[in-house]
Structure 1
Amino acid sequence: MFRPTRVIMSAVLPQLKYGYEQLEPAISRQIMELHHSKHHATYVANYNKAFEDIQAAASSSDIKKQIALQAAIKFNGGGHINHSLFWENLAPTANGGGEFPSSGPLADQVKADFGGLDGLKKAVNAAALGIQGSGWAWLGYNPTTKKLEAVSTANQDPLLGYVPLVGIDMWEHAFYLDYKNVKQSYLDAIWTVINWKEAEARLAKA
């Protein structure tokens, strides 16, 4: 009988390290507030509810219900993981957002794998614009090849098999109020608030 591991803890909505308005004009306060306090909070609440339900199903030996709850665990848990990374990916321009390092491990790796920052943006943008429906575009470090790659995941699937350095939310709730259906304009703007210091720290840990 399947029993969920006891080390799984309830998800908690993270506090942002900046104000909702501090990413403007790239991302409006309205989008940030709705995205964090409503969308992400809903993933957290739904994950916690699904986890409680799966514990109850395990206690009652209801295997069928445990199986049925796996989709909710995956979707909402993935939504929580992805968004928690996303908030850390961003920084106000006043705090260095958008400032790509001129030298160091990240700059060297980007030059080796993409030819430079412009090549990186082109590759990640292509992964983002290639998503059919909703999903995420990623700059990930492949520990097998020891290279950076631009990849995408569908819906709220987390990036597995890679170390995520930068993730870009390509769900409409992340950009539609500001950019309508012009995804390229959203992508152009979000690069101006990417937290490259965080990306470099993740690369160092990888």
Structure 2
Amino acid sequence: MSLKLPGLPYALNALEPHLSARTLEFHYGKHHQAYVDNGNKLLADSDLAGLAMEEIMRRTADDAGKAGIFNNVAQVWNHSFYWQGMKPGGGGQPGGRIAELIKADLGGFDQFVAEFKNAGATQFGSGWAWLVLAEGKLGVTKTPNAENPLTRGMVPLLTMDVWEHAYYLDYQNRRPDYMATFLEKLVNWDFVNANLAKLTSS
């Protein structure tokens, strides 16, 4: 398979006023597209061409000689996952299975919010904050640059992009404001519950 830029699950302006159409035009249309284009160029002459993104990521995660492939493929995966984790009218407290697990494994929604914001705030430079399933329990973690919890045996359920290009046009250097808005106004908890459902049905 070649890498492809997936369609967004909403219009470019659908997340306004929380994330502007201009941010999505650059973030999705320029940055995400560039990872797709660069990844395809690097994979073209590679023995990894044709593999699923998850498999490529696992095979290249700790191989310095294939860092370019890993970085671009992982960024395609990470961004595709990130877009799905937001929706118009999202955010706030979840319902369903994820609400039960947040209470049982993380001590409640307020504790989750504090941990998730802390993961994003303490990720120095570029990276990601994640809600994951690890050894059967929910956890919050962070990764730098393009790294993904999949390569460490965790299952991603939700991610928040904390690269500056994710929020700078709307929030400038106010990463905490962006993170608060993400949790209060944007998170697609239906997507998170769907990810959990896939795990129990497989």
1:178 maps to amino acid: D
The residue number in structure 1 matching 2:112 is: 120
Shift of 1:53: 3.0
**Match status 1:85 vs 2:78:** no
Distance 1:99 1:189, change over 3 A: closer
Alignment partner of 1:204 is 2:194: no
Among 138, 142, 145, the alignment partner of 1:155 is 145
Please say if 1:173 is aligned against 2:165.
yes
Say yes or no: does 1:53 pair with 2:45.
Answer: yes
Question: TM-score, with normalisation over the residues of structure 2?
Answer: 0.85
Match of 2:56 in 1: none
User: Which letter maps to 2:197?
Assistant: A
CA contact (8 A) 1:179 1:186 kept: yes
Cα deviation code 1:21-49 (max 9, x no counterpart): 11011111110111111000000000000
Q: How many residues align?
A: 182
The residue aligned with 2:60 is none
> Which of structure 1's runs of 4+ aligned residues deviate more than 3 A?
99-102
- What TM-score results when the alignment is normalised by the length of structure 1? 0.84
Matching of residues 1-16 of structure 1 within 5 Å:
9-16=1-8
Pairwise CA RMSD of aligned residues? 1.6
Runs of at least 5 residues in structure 1 that lack an aligned partner in the other structure = 1-8, 56-66
Once residues 124 and 87 of structure 1 are traced to their aligned partners in structure 2, the CA distance between those partners, rounded to angstroms, is 18
SS in 2 for 1:164: strand
Q: State the one-letter code of the partner of 1:72.
A: G
Identity of aligned residues (%): 41
Q: Distance in 1 between matches of 2:3 and 2:104?
A: 37
Q: CA deviation at 1:169?
A: 0.4
Gaps of 5+ in 2: 48-62
Deviation track 1:92-132 (CA, whole Å, cap 9, x = no partner) reads: 11xxx125334x31111011122222211110111111111
Give a deviation string over 1:160-203, Cα, whole Å, max 9, x none. 21111110001000011111111100001111111000001111
Rg (Cα) greater in structure: 1
